[in-house]
Amino acid sequence: MGLLNLAEQVVLWWMCYSCIGWVWETGLNLVLKHKWVDRGALNGPICPIYGNGALLVLLLLHDVTNPVALFLGSGVIACTLEYVVSWQYERMFHIRLWDYTDKPFNINGRVYLNGFLAFGAGATLVKLVVQPWLAQLTATIPQPWLHIAAWGLLAVAFVDWMASTMGMADMDNRLARLGEDVKAGRLEAIDKANDDMAEANARMEQRLAQVQRSAQERLDQTRERIDDTIADIRAARRRDESAALDRLTKDHVRRALSRQQVRLLRAFPSLRSSTHRELTDRIHDLLER
């Protein structure tokens, strides 16, 4: 087998395991949350971290056949990769796609025990069962078709990766602008509420001045009615402001963020911006409604 032929087969292996990872992530979310969400970090139906993890296990543990050793080694490799990718995303894009802080036995919220167990078991299955069958299958592909499939899929994945990376890199800037818009809208709502309350207080003073000539009992009754009216105004204004702010924020989310960025926020409920955490919490709440 020539080097080019092997490299092209490796590309197909990587794509296959990346697609399997996407099916696993999306299917698991569908089963546990009864909700269809595209769980890929890229726009296409692939999770590259699964493909990278599988290839690392096949490369680094190529001579390991003991299931226990393979399980432990695979878990360590997978968790190390997951930790590095999480740290790199946060360093480069100021976002965390996943956060296991609330999970038991986690390390800085980037990896946790269940992930170690799942990845260890999955990689062991891949190494002992899936890979021999897959390698045999790709070896039977005629050379011309292997060239077309490998280079075509690699080109599509590269374009997708570039577009997704640009979207992630731009997310922090868009969140910053969105935060300014929301802040401006919030201040506008508060100013309007203050103006309305000032107007209501002025009307109250006017009415009090008019009834001061009346009997004390009538004055007390009027005060009670006015207090009730003011309380109703305040309650209605709070409801209106909250509803208006929600609509404003949701509209801004759809306008200010790209379709890919909104999809990522839907796909990763624990996605948080390290510089705009409160805002991403707010967006998650709105998108889940």
Q: What is the 3-state secondary structure (H, E, C) of 136-167?
A: HHHHCCCHHHHHHHHHHHHHHHHHHHHHHHHH
Give the per-residue pLDDT at 209.
61
Mean per-residue pLDDT pooled into runs of 10, the chain (289 residues):
83 94 87 78 87 93 91 94 91 85 88 91 92 91 90 91 84 77 57 55 62 56 62 56 51 75 81 78 75
Domain limits of the chain? 3-170, 172-287
Q: How far apart are CA 265 and CA 288, in angstroms?
A: 10
Buried b / exposed e along 274-284 (16+ C-beta atoms within 10 A) = eebeebbebbb
Helix (H, G, I), strand (E, B) or coil at 169: helix
Residue 213's φ and ψ, nearest 5 degrees, are -80, -10
Give the per-residue pLDDT at 244.
43
Q: Which one-letter amino acid corresponds to residue 213? A: R
Buried b / exposed e along 32-59 (16+ C-beta atoms within 10 A) = eeeeeebbbbbbbebbbbbbbbbebbbe
Residue 177's φ and ψ, nearest 5 degrees, are -65, -40
Q: How far apart are CA 136 and CA 138, in angstroms?
A: 6
Where in the chain does DSSP place strands (E)? 95-96, 106-107, 111-112, 272-273
Give the per-residue pLDDT at 78.
92
pLDDT tens by residue, 219-247: 566 566 666 666 655 555 555 545 544 55
**pTM (predicted TM-score):** 0.73
Give the per-residue pLDDT at 107.
92
pLDDT tens by residue, 66-88: 999 999 999 999 999 999 999 98
